[in-house]
Copies of this chain bind each other. A is one copy, B any other.
Amino acid sequence: MNPERVAGKLGLSRERLEALHKTVIKRSSWPEPRLWRFDKPASGVEAGTVIFENGEIVHGYPKIRRAMMLGPALNTHFSGNVAVEEKMNGYNVRIVSYHGDLLALTRGGFICPFSTEVARKNLHPRIFEDNPDLVLCGEMVGPDNPYVPKRIYQVKSIEFFLFDLSHKNSKRLMGVARTHELAKEYGIRTAPLLGEFQADRAYPQIVEIVRRLGRAGREGVIIKDSENRVGPVKYTTSESNCSDLQFAFRYYNDNALDFFVSRAVREGFQSVEWGEGPEEFKARALRLGESIIGPLSETIRNKMAGEQIVQQVQIRVRSIQTARDFEQHLRRSGTRAIFDIPEPDGDEYLIHIIKPVMSTNDKTEALVKGQFW
């Protein structure tokens, strides 16, 4: 690796790169290949940016900005046409080929052994034979998703859904047209493209799409400039905001506080922008209230019945070694997880995973016994 060239490709001086190596750039030597990763954003380089030993760089996937007031956000941010894609609820990965091997990188820039196995199962090797520098940006989605298991998609286990493209050593995302073109060429599943509209007339149509997605329990939309001139914008359904709250309040003492409040605030903005009358407002307030005290009540009742408060997820793998590696991956990410004995299922293994939710578990146990808060 030539530090001068790497620095140049990142847009940094060599001195700055060396200084960052002492602070935000971390070594990851497992699983192979070894790499360095940006643990935090720095000097205009996204968090999760990866530098391989041969000097190749995979930039971190940038955070997508959220519209709170959809109409004004559309008008101020976009001109021309916008494409509306479904925002799928899973976890973000970047898939690349390195020395001929396909690898899935997490948002933070780690190689995830489980996602790598899924990607190798889902994607045809020819994609990278034809395009060795390609970076596939997408979402891992489905019931065997060990972070956000969801049964709302047409996915049996877990699958990769492409939503953008990039290339090694480049920050640039290729945009919606190029993404769907390549997906078609190589048979890659994509986040559904739900329509294309003139930006200044898109508002009512997007609201209609968001309402429909909400009724189906889906997360929301990503709105993209059709010409890829400005960055994308996200906007979520009320049902997704409430479903986030349900999850968070089930494990109320283990979640960041801003998670709760941000979802509530989104509901306020959507209610006002959609001009809700008393009935709709009441239905939204009830949905919001239930998504808070429903899971709280369940957690408290479970604890009163003597149960441990845990989160249960599962994965399905071809090789038991992948599960072992994934266990190691979770451990190094600081996540405690207990892996059950693999159950053979066809040519795969189903593995139940229990994540203890220690803080909520212990707090609830203490409070139920009469301790103070």
Residues of A at the B interface (CB closer than 8 Å) are 65-69, 71-77, 233, 249, 252, 257-258, 260-262, 264-265, 267-269, 271-272, 281-282, 284-290, 292-294, 296-297, 299-301, 304, 367-373
Report the separation of the CA atoms of residues A122 and B297 in the bound assembly, to the nearest whole angstrom.
45
Q: How far is the CB of A277 from chain B (nearest CB, A)?
A: 12
CB-based contact A260/B262 at 8 Å: no
CB neighbours of A65 from chain B (8 A): 372-373
Bound together, the chains give a CA A74 to CA B272 distance in angstroms of 44
A285–B296 contact, CB under 8 A? Answer: no
A-B contact pairs, 30 of them (CB 8 A): A65-B372, A66-B373, A67-B372, A69-B367, A72-B368, A73-B372, A75-B370, A76-B369, A76-B371, A249-B265, A252-B264, A252-B268, A257-B257, A257-B261, A260-B264, A267-B293, A267-B296, A268-B297, A268-B300, A272-B300, A272-B301, A272-B304, A284-B289, A285-B289, A285-B292, A286-B286, A287-B289, A288-B289, A288-B293, A289-B290
A249 vs B268: C-alpha distance when bound (angstroms): 10
Q: Which residues of B contact A370 (CB under 8 A)?
A: 67, 69, 71-77
Contact yes or no, A294 B300, CB < 8 A: no
Expressed in whole angstroms, the Cα–Cα distance for A290 and B296 within the complex equals 18
In the complex, chain B residues whose CB is within 8 Å of the CB of A287: 289
A199 to chain B, nearest CB (A): 12
Choose from B258, B264, B290 the contact partner of A249 (Cβ within 8 Å).
B264
Question: Are A271 and B293 in contact, with the CB atoms below 8 A?
Answer: yes
Judging by beta carbons under 8 Å apart, are A267 and B292 in contact?
yes
Closest to A65 in B: B372
A367 and B269 form a contact (CB under 8 A): yes
From residue A243, how far is it (CB to closest CB) to chain B in Å? 15
Smallest CB gap from A301: residue in B: B272
| Least CB distance, A361 to chain B, in whole angstroms | 14
Cβ A281 vs Cβ B269 within 8 A: no
CB distance from A314 to the nearest CB of B (A): 28
Find chain B residues with CB under 8 A from A72 CB.
368-370
Give complex CA distance A272, B300 in Å: 7
Given A77-B370, A300-B272, A264 and B288 touching (CB < 8 A)?
no
What's the minimum C-beta distance from A262 to chain B, rounded to whole angstroms? Answer: 7
List of B residues within 8 angstroms of A258 by Cβ: 257
A367-B286 CB under 8 A given contacts A249-B264, A268-B293: no
- Residues of B near A257 (CB, < 8 A) are 257-258, 260-261
The one of B286, B301, B304, B373 that contacts A262, using a Cβ cutoff of 8 Å: B373
Q: Shortest Cβ distance from A158 into chain B, in angstroms?
A: 30
Bound complex: CA of A372 vs CA of B73, how far in Å?
Answer: 7
Contact of B260 with A261 in the complex, beta carbons under 8 Å: yes
Q: Would A285 and B281 count as touching, CB distance under 8 A? A: no
